[in-house]
Structure 1
């Protein structure tokens, strides 16, 4: 209910002697026009805040949204396996039932959504909607169906590109710019939820730049209802442009609770362009392992602020050929400042394969620019990290340092830890639970390969690095740790 103002508008009187009739009329005209303008602006503001209706938009975009049905041949069942959980008190009862089935292969169907992006029949959906399918059928809003073929897929972003052949041009929708989408804007989702056919839901953008699990994640979060079957469908802005592809929901029960995620169109368009051109993705590859720069790591290596991407390992590849080293902090890539590892990975992946880019690194307290020619990530997934020349001390010993009991690697320790013969460093045999090292996550079985960005093979090497850090006024020492073969930098406070 609208609250009435306690201040009443004053009555307007026209002095008969001081104001002529024509002047009075002009005054009233100005007043009326002013009120009309104010009301018009208020109505426009209200319209921008909350649409009166989504009907016109739904009518406009519906012909370009499709339902997807897939068919897959699966092995047939030969009994009631999986009817009850293992260990259930009813397990024996069901296992004694006669086998129901002859084991013959059978067909399994699945449902999803998608949308047409060109009049010649290109369709975008999620990879998980069509993955492993033998047959893909596209149902259009007008009621007709067409078979589809897979042009290409990308598991990293869960995007798939399909193609149908049609005698007549198909109605399609354009992509919008997801980078300018703001939290709080109205959006509309459309698709095939729970196999019920074409359905529309609306809500707002509740968050942006969400990362779920993938390397290239950039999700728009929305409270528009998204359920099973909506996967692959479009998320529209109020201009009828696709700003995201509905991909996942956060739910304890499998149903919509108002937390849905759509892969941002800025990611999707790059993937789709490559799938159209090559039938596969071709992402740039730098060839380094990296981690975020924390406050203590920044202090340990003399950085003014905790930003950039710290290189933990440089296997054979473009970065090694260009001279990048473990311990370098990548500050900028191809002229763009690097804030963290996620930003660097996305920037590298979106850069053209074979392009020569300038990489600014922080090394030994100074900055240095290196020129790196990018490789292709898809052909380099199996790259093996380079190893150093072995150097094993003749007289193994152990000692407590920084709250850790450490010992040089021996053949026996390498065998116990399943390390290669060429592995070198100090193995952590025990960690004091009250120490800074334990707080930082170091545990027995970790191998220290570097300290202060220099290799260590003997306990004396580690002690020398500690003393050098203290002499330089450092409060912490940067250690390169390997656990199960994976490298990680840890800054441990000097006690």
Structure 2
């Protein structure tokens, strides 16, 4: 009996150990949390599944895009002859001293295997000599093919002895906010520098510039101007142009001319010799002005038409004051920079389908862009217009532009109503030509303009 009791006790202990081991090591836990039920429903905060690969940055590879880009981005050296005043008298009455060479640097992007290079206009402005250095350290002299100060795009060319690597223009309209991009250039004369960031915003307006930009947080510094902004596929989606900074160095914001605008400017320069700029023919009210706030225009999602220019595409299509532009073709228009950014990639004669909101009714209106007939030239601020057939007969000339408005500074010279025919020794053909030529005026430079009065007499004015 004692032997049987001992055997039973051993069996009980063995069973307890086996059950404990199973509970501890093999049985899946099954916990129940007991809470007070107040009738509250469980709310799911997100229906977006997370990536099984973890954070998105781990999914991006920049190496291929960088390798394909660095050899197509060049260093641009601009030698200019500048002069400046050394006395107060020279400051007010002009400087006649010796010209001093100055060297500026920037970047450029090869866009064809035969040596065409796109850069910023401010990189090559007023150049006496241009030199381009490739990524293999070979240096070539470059020629200016054409410029567009309004978009800050210039086209130059080198003659190399071999086929050159180049970048193809991408479609900047397809670029998305949050997309990874690379900025490639030569900041501080450091060749082939690659920085990464994301697209922070599209169709960004800067100060009073009639232009829209791609904003990115990829580091851009002096010397990056004219360099490439590419996506992770290596497509050229922008030309790096400007930064917003109180120090002149990168602080987190940089801006690029969208590739669709740069491509259109380059094609126009090659095909026509100048930029073919089509306009819609409307003006709007600044969004943050007191009038806009008072009238509630500040809260409009779209572009409010405040005025329609006579003899424009908008005028012919019977767009009217109070209409709100909501969409152009398939592009949503939420602010004025969206509109000018899209139209900047079009030419006179292009037809756009404009969606407008008129008295709570949405209308689709075809509008044909026309060439601008009036504009304000830079620096001097003259308002000018292309000559009509009547003007050509009255002034007995087929070239030039008519001055239709002058700022207060020039009122005493009786310039309004006269025809401006030359800038220095260069003839002026039309308002686009005038804008380009007057964009060359520098603070200490001196030039002359020649005008015709209604008697056909020539008058010359020295500008300094």
Deviation at 1:291, TM superposition (A): 2.6
- TM-aligned CA distance change 1:140 to 1:375, over 3 Å: same
1:239 corresponds to which residue?
A: 233
CA offsets 1:452-493 (integer angstroms, 9 cap, x no match): xxxxxxxxxxxxxxxxxxxxxxxxxxxxxxxxxxxxxxxxxx
Deviation at 1:290, TM superposition (A): 2.2
Q: What SS does the aligned partner of 1:134 have?
A: strand
Q: What SS does the aligned partner of 2:305 have?
A: strand
Contact 2:108–2:227 at 8 Å: present in 1 too?
yes
**What are the within-5 Å matches in structure 2 for residues 200-349 of structure 1?**
200-213=194-207, 214-222=209-217, 224-291=218-285, 297=295, 306-319=300-313, 322=316, 324=318, 327-331=321-325, 335=329, 338-349=333-344
Q: 1: CA distance between counterparts of 2:96 and 2:348? A: 52
Q: 2: CA distance between counterparts of 1:229 and 1:150? A: 19
2:164 corresponds to which residue?
A: 170
2:83 corresponds to which residue?
A: 75
Deviation at 1:110, TM superposition (A): 0.3
Q: What SS does the aligned partner of 1:149 have?
A: strand
- TM-aligned CA distance change 1:70 to 1:55, over 3 Å: same
Q: 2: CA distance between counterparts of 1:332 and 1:207? A: 19
**What are the within-5 Å matches in structure 2 for residues 113-132 of structure 1?**
113-132=107-126
Contact 1:282–1:377 at 8 Å: present in 2 too?
no
Count of residues in Structure 1 that have an aligned counterpart in Structure 2: 326
Q: 2: CA distance between counterparts of 1:134 and 1:306? A: 49
Q: What SS does the aligned partner of 1:218 have?
A: strand
CA offsets 1:326-369 (integer angstroms, 9 cap, x no match): 63414467655654433333444433312455666666787777
**What are the within-5 Å matches in structure 2 for residues 45-194 of structure 1?**
49-50=57-58, 54=62, 57-75=65-83, 103-194=97-188
Q: What SS does the aligned partner of 2:113 have?
A: coil
Q: 1: CA distance between counterparts of 2:340 and 2:294? A: 23
- TM-aligned CA distance change 1:116 to 1:309, over 3 Å: same
How well do the aligned residues superpose, as a CA RMSD in angstroms? 4.1
Contact 1:68–1:114 at 8 Å: present in 2 too?
yes
CA offsets 1:135-190 (integer angstroms, 9 cap, x no match): 11100011111111122222222111111112211011223333343444433222
Q: 2: CA distance between counterparts of 1:262 and 1:359? A: 26
Q: 2: CA distance between counterparts of 1:122 and 1:378? A: 31
Q: 2: CA distance between counterparts of 1:143 and 1:198? A: 11
Deviation at 1:322, TM superposition (A): 2.2
Contact 2:203–2:341 at 8 Å: present in 1 too?
no
Structure 2: segments with no counterpart, 5+ residues: 1-23, 28-50, 377-382, 386-410, 412-464
Deviation at 1:227, TM superposition (A): 1.0
TM-score, L = length of structure 1: 0.56
Deviation at 1:289, TM superposition (A): 2.3
Q: 1: CA distance between counterparts of 2:96 and 2:329? A: 64
Q: 1: CA distance between counterparts of 2:150 and 2:279? A: 15
Deviation at 1:295, TM superposition (A): 8.0
CA offsets 1:177-208 (integer angstroms, 9 cap, x no match): 33343444433222111223332223333344
Q: 2: CA distance between counterparts of 1:102 and 1:285? A: 42
Q: 2: CA distance between counterparts of 1:56 and 1:321? A: 49
CA offsets 1:118-146 (integer angstroms, 9 cap, x no match): 10111111111011112111000111111
Deviation at 1:375, TM superposition (A): 1.6
Q: 2: CA distance between counterparts of 1:361 and 1:191? A: 41
Among candidates 348, 357, 382, match of residue 353 of structure 1: 348
Q: What SS does the aligned partner of 2:126 have?
A: coil
Q: 1: CA distance between counterparts of 2:362 and 2:180? A: 45
Contact 2:260–2:345 at 8 Å: present in 1 too?
no
- TM-aligned CA distance change 1:378 to 1:126, over 3 Å: farther
Contact 1:283–1:378 at 8 Å: present in 2 too?
no
Structure 1: segments with no counterpart, 5+ residues: 1-8, 13-40, 83-100, 300-304, 385-417, 419-495
Deviation at 1:292, TM superposition (A): 6.6
Q: What SS does the aligned partner of 2:184 have?
A: strand
Contact 1:291–1:341 at 8 Å: present in 2 too?
no
CA offsets 1:229-258 (integer angstroms, 9 cap, x no match): 111111222222222221112222222223
Q: What SS does the aligned partner of 2:119 have?
A: strand
- The answer to whether structure 1 residue 377 and structure 2 residue 372 are counterparts is yes
Contact 1:292–1:310 at 8 Å: present in 2 too?
no
Contact 2:241–2:255 at 8 Å: present in 1 too?
yes
Contact 2:327–2:356 at 8 Å: present in 1 too?
no
Deviation at 1:76, TM superposition (A): 6.2
